[in-house]
Amino acid sequence: MQIKFSEKTQMFQAGIFAVLNERKEELLNKGMKIYNLSVGTPDFKPAPHVMEALTKASSDPENYKYALKDKRELLDAVSDFYMERFGVSLDREEIMSVNGSQEGMAHFAWALCDPGDIVLVPDPGYPIFSAGPLLCGAKTVPYPLYRENGYLPRLSEIPEETARAAKFMIVSYPLNPVCVTAPDSFYKELISFAREYEIVILHDNAYSDIVYGGRTGGSFLAHEGAKEVGVEFYSLSKSYNLTGARISFVVGNKEIVRTFRDLRTQFDYGVFLPVQYAAIAALRGPKDAVRMQREEYEKRNHALCRGLRDIGWEVPDSQGTMFVWAPLPEGYENSEKFTLELMERSGVICVPGSSFGSLGEGYVRFALVLPAEEMEKAVQAVRESGILDKGSR
């Protein structure tokens, strides 16, 4: 029997990630030292009090039933955390959990878009920003982010016809993959833009706790008028190393949160209760580990970026996120080909910028998932590979 799959399945292919993983296994089998800086999975452990809360809750058989909704204690913990951390007041009706930001992003467009509706997405940007709207039949229109503009959108250059047709716009700072933060002035402009064109703003705030250079990660909702025009995703994955637990929050505009929550009752029965207890412990517990982890990420950032600059590869320091965004070395033009060559010659694995949109071509992304000492060894492996000599010939 010949099975005909949906057109949606043809939109997304395994692509470069499958190729990198397959080749990585081959090189490991040959005994090559590998520095895997491709996937952004934290190598830090969750705080003991968070694991203890999860373990304790998992020992209660009652917690294996459908959650159906967020525990009141969880909503209050999020509310108190947002006030303490960002100075943002949230009612329980303005908060809901999702099974990780990836899943939440994948379904968010269902609450706002009908087939053919327009969603503005960043280019370069994280792939789910585009994949989510496309899966529900919406049309994505990229807005360009250029290095010379600090990877901030030029909102005035978005065509008026496009702006008026757009249902929502995805924004994220600190932004994966380009690793920059946004000034307060940008959010003021963004909120004004959203009001003028009646565009909902979805701000992905996954990395507000991982910023460098004395910067302070903030919240979109801390700016006047933000709740009127949008919502924010806040994740516990990277700040608290709960990637596998899958717990994030959608907070902000009450009407949007209510509609999204109602929609989700059709396919979701709530976040596993032990995970909710772990999230409460993370949000209410000590934050020393979050600070120490940020400091360690910054050491890795410096070890990698400054080390590569020392050997002739002009890579700017990351401003935030757990990644580094590097322009291709002199003499290279294709990010996918360079990524494969770099892995073959040095054992260092990164991700081609083309995986993040058309304007990602010419760059590669490194994940800061190895200790600073290992980052220094990775830099040495790049130097010894001779791959940077191409531009000097």
* pLDDT, position 10: 76
Is the confidence at residue 73, as pLDDT, over 90?
A: yes
- Ramachandran area for residue 239 (φ above 0: left; ψ -120 to 50: alpha; else beta): alpha
Answer yes or no: are the C-beta atoms of 233 and 250 closer than 8 Å.
yes
Instruction: Give the count of alpha carbons within 13 A of 286, CB side only.
Output: 6
Secondary structure of 208-264 in HEC code, one letter for each residue: CCCECCCCCCCCHHHCCCHHHHEEEEEECCCCCCCHHHCCEEEEECHHHHHHHHHHH
Average pLDDT of span 74-95: 98
Say what angle helices 15-29 and 335-346 make with each other, to 10 degrees.
10
* pLDDT, position 264: 95
Whole-number mean pLDDT of the chain? 95
Domains of the chain: 7-45+288-384 (3.90.1150.10), 65-284 (3.40.640.10)
* pLDDT, position 15: 66
Is the confidence at residue 129, as pLDDT, over 80?
A: yes
For residue 124, what are the CA distances in angstroms to 149, 179, 222, 259, 335? 13, 11, 25, 29, 13
* pLDDT, position 393: 46
Average pLDDT of span 106-134: 96
